[in-house]
Amino acid sequence: MSPDDLMFQDDEAGPVPDRTSAAAIPWPVLVVDDDEQVHAMTRVLLNDFEFQGRRFAIVSAYSAAEARTILAGRTDLPVVLLDVVMETQDAGLRLVHHIRRDLGNRHIRIILRTGQPGQAPERDAIVAYDINDYKSKAELTAQKLFTSLVSAVRGWCDLVTIETLNQSLERRVAERTAELERQTALADEQRRFIENLVELMPSPVWYRDFAGRYALCNRAFRELFPNAADRIEWSARTQDDSDPMPAGTDAISFETSVSGPDGDPRELLVVKRPLSSPEGAAAGVIGIATDITERRRMERELHRLATTDPLSGAHNRRHILDLLERLLTGQEAVADSRQTGGTGCLVMLDIDHFKRINDEMGHGAGDVAIRRVVEEIRSHMRATDQIGRIGGEEFAILLPDSSRADGVTIAERLRSGLAALAIELPDGRCFQLTGSFGLTEVRPLGDTVESVLGRADQALYRAKALGRNRVEVT
């Protein structure tokens, strides 16, 4: 019996399986052998076997070169039955190297079978070449052939499944990586946008960490505090920026003043809020300051315009009467006043013969006279005294914390100062004037603004009736 006859000997092949799935796509088996009889007998033998409901189909190659062509165009071959000796003594072994190295096909199962084991001893072939099984044609019975093929197909299926899963996993990893990169790029873009936005903000913005260091700040902050290292000197009346703020505290705001880089004071509206770590612990404070210096200046200017007589620079009628009412009601009538609701005096002043000055020297001279009178009166007033223009050439002088005697003394000093005042006009002309004064005490418990003004006017009328340039008291 020849080796080829032995190869097809049936040893307990068993009954043919039910061919319920015969219409399924068969398993392609590449048979590489230069003996046509081997191809024919292998095809006949495998026609009686199925695996997983699929038959086996022979793909024939009669040389290693022909096998290379087939393998270059097909990737669905799960197993190859490869002869060693064909056009050359080692054609089959060279084909193994071509499959594994040149084609990079690690999935296909290679069963090396030879009728001349001396040409490729089993041990040497297994060690030197990446093959999956080694069979001598003399020992490869029909059942062993089927067993080898089924084992090879299973191995190929497992490798393909693993490869598919790997590719799916790699694809998902690549997609996830791309998504993370996109999110990271978007986060970086958003971070750069926020950083540039904060940097361009005209208001100082900063982050002070829990250790008290100014870790982050924008350009406006650096310009306002060029020497800020670990501390900013806020005004003493406000909360210090280094004061800790517990986590969970709401934002706080306060107004403060600081010395700018040019040494000028700056009025600021500061808003601060604690910054918490992911664990909820206090991590520092973020703050923003709005420069309200110009706004405060405008508010002061508006207040000045609303309370000041534009010609004389003294208080206007409404404001001086408001100060009088505050003195009567016990409110803070005058800055630096030592008492509220105490005694005081109101002096009414009228410039004598003011109409004559306007008629003889012009209304410009009258305006100069009013301004010089206010300047002269203020030069003799205390810090707590106030003067306001009631109308025309008439003025009210409020003397808080003054008794009747004190008021008379002050009024006489004012009268003497006016009588000695020489007023020079821009054209070189000079003139003098006098004033009549009417004084009354302010009684907070029983007086009203109208009653005080009435008594002071009576005293003033009496001073004018008695010859002017004098002080009368009522």
Higher-pLDDT residue of 334 and 284 is 284
How far, rounded to the nearest angstrom, does the alpha carbon of residue 208 sit from its chain's CA centroid?
15
pLDDT at residue 337 greater than cutoff 50: no
pLDDT at residue 157 greater than cutoff 90: yes
Give the pLDDT confidence of 91-141 residue by residue, as tens digits: 999 999 999 999 999 999 999 887 765 555 666 666 778 888 888 877 777
From 319, 340, 349, select the one nearest 410 (Cα to Cα). 349
pLDDT of res. 120: 55
The count of C-alpha atoms lying within 13 angstroms of the C-alpha of 239, restricted to the half-sphere facing its C-beta, is: 14
pLDDT of res. 241: 53
Catalytic residue among 50, 267, 393, 472: 393
Asked if 111 contacts 81 with a C-beta cutoff of 8 angstroms, the reply is: yes
What are the helix (H) ranges across 290-393? 293-307, 317-329, 354-361, 363-380
Buried b or exposed e, range 295-311, using 16+ CB within 10 angstroms: ebeeeeeeeeeebbbee
Give me the amino acid identity at 259.
S
Asked if 139 contacts 6 with a C-beta cutoff of 8 angstroms, the reply is: yes
pLDDT of res. 236: 40
- The residues that bridge with 388 in the sheet, in sequence order, are 315, 396
Given 3-state DSSP classes, what are the helix, strand and coil percentages for the chain, each rounded to the nearest 5?
Answer: 40, 25, 35
Element spanning 319, H or E:
helix 317-329
Q: What mean pLDDT do residues 237-256 have? A: 67
Strands 50-51 and 252-259: unpaired
Confidence band for 21, pLDDT divided at 50, 70 and 90: very low
Q: How far apart are CA 123 and CA 264, in angstroms?
A: 96
pLDDT of res. 138: 73
pLDDT of res. 20: 43
- What backbone torsions phi and psi does residue 85 show, to the nearest 5 degrees? -95, 115
- What backbone torsions phi and psi does residue 68 show, to the nearest 5 degrees? -60, -40
10 Å CB burial of residue 400 (0-12, 13-18, 19+) is buried
Assess whether 424 carries a catalytic annotation: no
Q: What mean pLDDT do residues 371-376 have? A: 96
Provide the terminal-to-terminal Cα distance of the chain, rounded to the nearest Å: 159
pLDDT of res. 382: 93
- Length of the chain equals 474
pTM over 0.95: no
Of 40-54, 177-191, 448-462, minimum mean pLDDT range: 40-54
